[in-house]
Amino acid sequence: MSAPAFGMHLADVVPFNLPSIDYRLIAPILILMGAGLLSVLVEAFIPRRGRRPVQLIVVFVALLAAFAMVLAAAGSRAVTAEGSIAIDGPGLLLQGTLLLVALLAAMLMAERMVDPSGDAFAPRASTLPGSEDERQFTQRGYLQTEIWPLFCFSVSGMLLFVVSNDLLIMFVALEIMSLPLYLLAGMARRRRLLSQEAAMKYFLLGALSSAFFLYGSALLYGFSGSIDLPVIADQITAKPSQSWLLMIGAAFVLIGLLFKVGAVPFHQWVPDVYQGSPTPVTGFMAATVKIAAFGALLRVLYVALGGLQWDWAPMLWIIAILTMVVGSVIAITQTDIKRMLAYSSIAQAGFILVGVVAATREGLASALFYLIAYAFTTIGAFAVIAMARDSSGEATHLSRWAGLGRKSPIVATAFTIFMLALAGIPLTSGFIAKFSVFTAAIAAGDTWLVIVAVLASLVAAFFYLRVVVLMFFAEPGPETATVAVPSVFTTVALAAGATVTVVLGVVPQPVLEMVANADVFIR
């Protein structure tokens, strides 16, 4: 075809067909984006005093409405928006989980009873830490309500991330998800320098990983001539000889995603960011980003790179082993509970990777179950961390947790449930999750990987149980943190987390059926 002459009408060259968009199926994403915009307007036009209640109504209504739309779409399998969005079983399942977990996270963020001077966020993030301005804003009892638009946008990005069917939409979703999180990470009310440092690191390294992802996408485009995941898959089967572009492209895309799940060696941001961020945000991030990023990773691996399985499986083997071992082992020597849970989340990512590597239907189903189980447990655990306080804020050093079980048995029991679940003790969700992931991997022939995984979970059990021991088998001293009495928000989130954790351990059947029926990704 000859190049179009200048002045020629564009439409003569490219006939324009109206894109077919199934608005019903992408409604959850649209609702959250709309809520984000509405939320920005609320910030603009509602007087300061009225903002918080209005924002909360907007956010909760949007989350529930979006969840209703996900329920309404249940069972759909369709590719829409010109092939750039794929609504299928796993995608909807992850979207539903994301919305529920986000709901709990929103409750934690809305809590303002545990900190006597307000909520977990700086009254005005732009003031210099320790400055006169900061003191004044705090004194006047200002509350940061701009977290809510950021929250909505981030959730909408996650919802899009798990159903995006081409690399460009995936990249856009990645950024919509991440940029608000970078900001949220820097907004802690206490220990603000630590928080800002975390935000900065998260942003810089996140940008680097995004660059990897984008570069990888470009290389894959260079290889296949398309950004559509199914087309890339077709091209891989069609021309197996073109390996360099494909290999480096695939590697870079995977690196971008592995960064988000916190896999070794792309994990170093995790402890710093988890520790520095406001605890509700850490909980939000730890639970939802993990789901979203694994959703996207699974889709890329199973849909686009399915034909390359023999190439990426050994690489993921190594990464899974490194992730499990490094996460579990380093967590042993941590003395800060948030850092410990950060390394724990790295280790958990490794366990999920074990299911991912299996690359079978069971592997997918077990990874999905693991994500659901992990998300609810994590959000609950961070709810407890937000409540254990002293006069200067949260008491995150492990020594401050000694004897907590004596002072506040109910909260400590809830935390024990979460720790047991993360350690994989039976009758908690974590056990069923680990068991199904490991059996899926063994069935796929990855026996040695599972042996490493079981050993790593043994090591991991040690540091989870150490907290339990500390809480229940040590005498409370003057150093012991006090558990603040929360409002109904945190109480509900905590109770929901604990309930799901136990129910998924005792009667996991319905959810197991759900993940099994979620089927494979649509192509």
Partner 1 sequence: MNVYTPILVLGILAFGFALFSVTLAGFTGPKRYNRAKLAAYECGIEPTPQPVGGGRFAIKYYLTAMLFIVFDIEIVFLYPWAVAFDQLALFGLIEMVLFIIAVLVVYAYVWRRRGLEWD
Partner 2 sequence: MEQIMPATGAFSLIWVLIALPLAGAAVLLLGGRMTNKWGPYLGVLTVVGSAALGVVMLLQMMGLPAEDRSIQQVAYRWVFADGLSVDMAFRLDQLSMVFVLLITIVGSLIHVYSLGYMEHDPDRRKFFGYLNLFVAAMLLLVLANNYLLLYVGWEGVGLASYLLIGFWQVKPSAAAAAKKAFIINRVGDVGLGLAIMVMFVTFGSVTFADVFGQASAASEGTLTAIGLLLLLAACGKSAQFPLQAWLLDAMEGPTPVSALIHAATMVTAGVYLIVRSNAIFDRAVWAATAVVVVGLITVFMGAIIGSAKDDIKKSLAGSTMSQIGYMITAAGLGPIGYVFAIFHLLTHGVFKAGLFLGAGSVMHGMNDGVNMRRYGALRKVMVITTITFFIGYLAIIGIPPFAGFWSKDEIIHAAFEKGPVIGALLILGAGITGFYMSRMVAMTFFGKARWEDDVHPHESKAVMTIPLIILAIGSTVLGMALLFWGHIEEWLEPVTGIATAPSPLSTAATIGISLAFVIVGASIGWIMYLRREVPITAPRGSLLTRAARRDLYGDDVNEVLVVRPSYWLSRVLVWFDRAWVDGFVNGIAAFVGGFSGRLRRYQSGFARSYALSMVGGAVLVVLALLLVRLS
Instruction: Kindly state the helix (H) or strand (E) to which residue 389 belongs, with its residue range.
Output: strand 388-390
Q: Measure the CA–CA gap between 397 and 442, rounded to whole angstroms.
A: 38
What, of partner 1, partner 2, none, does residue 427 touch, CB below 5 to 8 Å by kind? partner 2
Tokens of residue 205, six digits: 């390294």
Q: Does 436 bind partner 2 (CB under 8 A)?
A: yes
Rounded to the nearest 5°, which phi and psi values hold at 393? 125, -155
345, 369, 362: which is closest to 267 by C-alpha?
Answer: 345
Q: Measure the CA–CA gap between 346 and 352, rounded to whole angstroms.
A: 10
Among 137, 212, 382, 521, binds partner 2 (CB under 8 A): 212
Burial of 46 (0-12, 13-18, 19+ CB in 10 A): middle
Size of the site for partner 2 (CB under 8 A): 75
As beta bridge partners, residue 388 has 483
Q: Measure the CA–CA gap between 343 and 270, rounded to whole angstroms.
A: 7
Tokens of residue 267, six digits: 């994990």
Whichever of 172 and 474 has its CB closer to partner 1, that residue is 172
- 100-129 binders of partner 1 (CB under 8 A): 126
Whichever of 16 and 310 has its CB closer to partner 1, that residue is 16
From the CA atom positions of the chain, what is the Rg in Å? 23
**Residues 6+ away with beta carbon under 8 Å from 91:** 162, 163, 295, 299, 521
Q: Does 311 bind partner 2 (CB under 8 A)?
A: yes
Instruction: Kindly state the helix (H) or strand (E) to which residue 329 belongs, with its residue range.
Output: helix 309-332
Q: Does 509 bind partner 2 (CB under 8 A)?
A: yes
- State the minimum distance, in angstroms, from the CB of residue 93 to partner 2: 14
Among 254, 296, 301, 421, binds partner 2 (CB under 8 A): 254
Among 54, 516, 520, 523, binds partner 2 (CB under 8 A): 516
Q: Measure the CA–CA gap between 350 and 384, rounded to whole angstroms.
A: 24
DSSP state of 19: P
Tokens of residue 389, six digits: 């306080």
- State the minimum distance, in angstroms, from the CB of residue 176 to partner 1: 12
Q: Does 41 bind partner 1 (CB under 8 A)?
A: yes
Whichever of 148 and 274 has its CB closer to partner 2, that residue is 274
**Residues 6+ away with beta carbon under 8 Å from 235:** 223, 224, 225, 226
Whichever of 142 and 435 has its CB closer to partner 2, that residue is 435
What, of partner 1, partner 2, none, does residue 43 touch, CB below 5 to 8 Å by kind? partner 1
What SS3 class is residue 420?
Answer: helix
Q: Where are the beta strands (DSSP E) in 329-371?
A: none
What, of partner 2, partner 1, none, does residue 172 touch, CB below 5 to 8 Å by kind? none
- State the minimum distance, in angstroms, from the CB of residue 479 to partner 2: 16
Segment contacting partner 1 (CB under 8 A): 12-20, 334-342, 466-474, 485-493?
12-20
- State the minimum distance, in angstroms, from the CB of residue 385 to partner 2: 21
Q: Measure the CA–CA gap between 119 and 132, rounded to whole angstroms.
A: 20
- State the minimum distance, in angstroms, from the CB of residue 315 to partner 2: 4
522, 513, 164, 523: which is closest to 365 by C-alpha?
Answer: 513
37, 91, 28: which is closest to 64 by C-alpha?
Answer: 28
- State the minimum distance, in angstroms, from the CB of residue 305 to partner 1: 28
Q: Does 391 bind partner 1 (CB under 8 A)?
A: no
Among 4, 37, 318, 426, binds partner 1 (CB under 8 A): 37
Size of the site for partner 1 (CB under 8 A): 13
Q: Does 18 bind partner 1 (CB under 8 A)?
A: yes
Among 22, 40, 138, 207, binds partner 1 (CB under 8 A): 40
Segment contacting partner 1 (CB under 8 A): 38-46, 82-90, 219-227, 327-335?
38-46
Q: Does 217 bind partner 2 (CB under 8 A)?
A: no
Q: Residue numbers of the site for partner 1 (CB under 8 A)?
A: 10-11, 15-16, 18-19, 37, 40-41, 43-45, 126
